[in-house]
Amino acid sequence: MRWLHLLSIITWFGGMIFILLVVIPFVRAMPGLAAVNRTLLLLQIGKRYQPIAWVMITIGAITGYYNGERRSVAWLHLTETFYGRRLHMKLEYAGVVLVLMLIHAYWVNRRLARIVEQELAAGDADPTLKLQRRKWERISFGFLVLNILLTALVVLLASSLVA
């Protein structure tokens, strides 16, 4: 089951990196597409990727638990051994990543989507919507980068787990 655990995390983590390094720069450089429409496109891509991410995270959590059971890792080991302390750190950071992902998906991006809808409906009539959109774009981008960095830390901690 370790292979499935690794594959699920690689798929999830790789997807985030692909969005950051390929999709966002590509969409931002699209000629002839208004900024609000670029944001809308990025939100739609993120919404399309979201179920894949959650499935991969769920598979990763289930297989991670299974791998721990196979190695006979007890809760007591999470504080008393080097392996356990590293695993505990990995689980804590993974928990932080999950919370940040929930906030990003269900609060930040939904807020951004509402602003985009309002801006599309208002056209150029309300310039404050453009400023709000830009603010929430930066917040959303910050969440993506932070999630990638923390996930890289989780992967680093996982790579140090040797029995």
Q: What does the alpha-carbon distance between residue 14 and residue 20 come to, in Å, rounded to a whole number?
A: 10
User: Measured between alpha carbons, how far is residue 44 from residues 6, 40, 116 in Å?
Assistant: 27, 6, 12
pLDDT tens, position by position, 54-105? 999 999 999 998 988 887 777 777 888 888 888 889 999 999 999 999 999 9
CB atoms within 10 A of CB 40: 20
The pTM of this model reads 0.90
Task: Please give the angle made by the CA atoms of 155, 99 and 21, to the nearest 5 degrees.
Answer: 55
Neighbours of 118 (CB within 10 A): 15
Dig out the tokens for 131 from the structure. Answer: 């400023």
10 Å CB burial of residue 150 (0-12, 13-18, 19+) is middle
CA–CA distance, 78 with 25 (Å, rounded to integer): 41
Q: What angle do CA 15, 8, 139 make, to 5 degrees?
A: 35
% of the chain surpassing 90 pLDDT: 77
Give the lowest-confidence range in 22-26, 71-75, 79-83, 124-128: 71-75
